[in-house]
Amino acid sequence: MQNGAGRPPRGRGNPQGSTPGGQRNPGRGQYGQQTPGYGGYRQQAPRGQQNGYGQRQGGYGQSGYNQPRQRPMTRSMTEKEYRAYQQRQAATAEQRRRQAEVERMMRKQEAKRRRQHNRQVFAGRLAVFGAVLLIMGLIAGGIFLILFHSTPDAVEEQKISYTYGGKQVRKAAFEVAYGSGTYYFCFQDLADYLGMAETGSAAERRFLFVDEADLTDSRGDGSEEYVTFPDGQALAVVNGQRVPLDGPNRLSGEEVWVSVNFVEDVMDNLSLKIDDDTVAVGMIVDDTAETTEEQAKNKVILYLDPVFRLKAADPVEPIPEEEAFLSAMPGGLQDEDGEIDMELANVTFVNDLTAYEQYMAPENRDGYLDLVNTTRTLSADYAPTDLLDVAATAKGRTTQRLRQIAAKALEALLLEMNSANLPGMQVNSGYRTYSYQAMLFETYTGNELAKNPNITREEAEAIVLTYSTRPGTSEHQTGLAVDMATDDSFSTDFQYSEHYQWLMENAWKFGFILRFPADKVDITTIQFEPWHWRFVGRYHAKKIHDAGICLEEYIALLEAKEEQ
Ligand SMILES: [Zn+2]
């Protein structure tokens, strides 16, 4: 049927005329040949429908709708045929119209469906957008709450304020105020609050409970109360006794920062209150104190005296002579009354240094205190007789020597430094003869004159004296002084090394002191020399170390004592 348009009319015709449209068959045959293009339409139109549309087709024909412009083949077409033709044309047009209608409807449906789909998509997107908006809103709200709920103090955040007796004296960043699981405070603030004095070197500040820092009384008779805070160690040394703290001490610049548990565990009659952003220290009201009439009138509040819980007077238990460890103790640790500073006695080492004990804490306790400086000179012929090669002369230098006692004590010190993971110390200078020092001084003076041709010899010598000494005034001639560092230079940068820090903390245990501290230049007249260490024996080294004084001051104190 699909190819019917090209078929001979007769073959397709229905001779029986059994269908209602049967009578048009001949015509169809004609048109089928003449206008093959229409054949398709004719055949598409269902026969049953053709009748139903018959009248309307006529109507269309009359109104000229879709009317053929010409009467095709008029001569061979009867009026009847023509009407049929018109009807078919109309039917075709109707067919197209309906099809267009259907297509339009379908497009409409499709558009509607799309709109619905788009609406669904839009609704979905709207939901997602809404959710995102909600989350953002919540976050913004949270931030808003945090910002406006907190006070301005907390907005600066991380700031901890410190009050003493209700007065704020400091604010510190949280990182400064808190660490190692404990709050810290700057000890100078408390010292100011309590009127404590501050002495000692930068490496070890000492705070004293006295009207004046009376350094002549370095062994407690009850009058001196002091505390020191070894840098990096979680302890306070109170009147010579170690008290554990919750975190390691921090020495930053001039300031000493200490765990707040110091206030609770070491002090009596002080209160400590900590909340989120405040560390408050205060004195405690003395309820039992009787106020005078005058005080009552002025509403004076009396407070309990803040004091160290550990007293300076805590006596060292007298040690029965028959006890073995006393006889084993080198005599060099006993003071004039035969008492022993327990800290001196309890020095411990990583290595077994028993064999070195006789050198570090010599029996002849006061035998190594020779003070040699510009005013106390050694004669040209003074030369020790017990010189020994040192363990670690710097490469490229002739083997340096020290007096046996200092050489051995130094050997012990270097052993411990190695064990403390601080190897690499080398001795740049030990014993120097008078003549060698004379040669050195001459050379230095010559160098200065060469650098500054306009100065006099006297002026040149004055310059040299700031870093070297005249023959007879160098303690290197004693055989008890050693210049050591991690390299063979004489650089003050050594002070920044861990090695130096270790020496500052521990050298006294081996009997050595820093001879020319940075803060004693006006007394020693020698520039700060972090490399120059002097053997005096453990007993005196500890006293000098603890007091933070130089050898000149210490000797002066001893001499003042003798005169009494
Ligand atoms: Zn030196």
CA of 413 relative to ligand 1 center, distance in Å: 18
DSSP per-residue codes, 302-320: PBPPPEESS-TT-PPPPPP
More confident residue, 58 or 489: 489
334-432+474-563 fold: Muramoyl-pentapeptide Carboxypeptidase; domain 2 (3.30.1380)
What are the respective helix, strand and coil percentages of the chain, to the nearest 5? 45, 15, 40
Structural domain boundaries in the chain: 159-308, 334-432+474-563
Distance CA 520, CA 552 (A): 9
The percentage of residues in the chain with a pLDDT greater than 90, rounded to a whole number, is 38
338 has pLDDT over 90: no
Q: Tell me, in angstroms, the distance from the centre of ligand 1 to residue 430's CA.
A: 8
> Which band of pLDDT confidence, cut at 50, 70 and 90, is reported for residue 235?
confident
pLDDT of res. 495: 95
Give domain 159-308's CATH number out of 3.40.50.620, 3.90.76.10, 3.40.190.10, 3.30.457.10: 3.30.457.10
- The larger pLDDT score, comparing residue 197 to residue 190, is at 190
pLDDT of residue 447: 95
pLDDT, tens digit, for every residue of 516-537?
999 999 999 999 999 999 999 9
pLDDT over 70 at 110, yes or no:
yes
Task: Identify which of 360, 367, 405 has the alpha carbon closest to the alpha carbon of residue 510.
Answer: 360
What is the tens place of the pLDDT at every residue in 51-79?
Answer: 434 344 433 434 444 444 555 555 566 78
* 400, pLDDT greater than 90: yes
Q: Mean of the per-residue pLDDT values for the chain?
A: 78
Whole-number pLDDT of residue 111: 81
Alpha-carbon distance 77 to 26, whole Å?
Answer: 12
- Ligand 1 geometric centre to CA of 444 (Å): 15
Residue type (1 letter), 481:
A
Q: Which of 277, 244, 82 is nearest to 162 (CA)?
A: 277
CB count within 10 Å of CB 499 equals: 20
Q: Would you tell me the crossing angle of helices 457-464 and 434-451 to the nearest 10 degrees? A: 120
- The pLDDT assigned to 75 comes to 57
Please say if the pLDDT value at position 37 is more than 90: no
Catalytic machinery residues: 529
For residue 476, report the distance from its CA to the centre of ligand 1, in Å.
6
Task: Tell me the per-residue pLDDT of 348-369, one tens digit each, with 9 for 90 and over.
Answer: 898 989 899 999 999 999 999 9
Q: Ligand 1 centre and the CA of 268: distance in Å?
A: 45
Mean per-residue pLDDT for 496-522?
97
Judged against a pLDDT cut of 70, whether residue 319 lies above it is answered with: no
Mean pLDDT of 10-26: 41
* Closest listed residue to residue 162, CA positions, set 84, 62, 275: 275
CA distance 74 to 61: 16
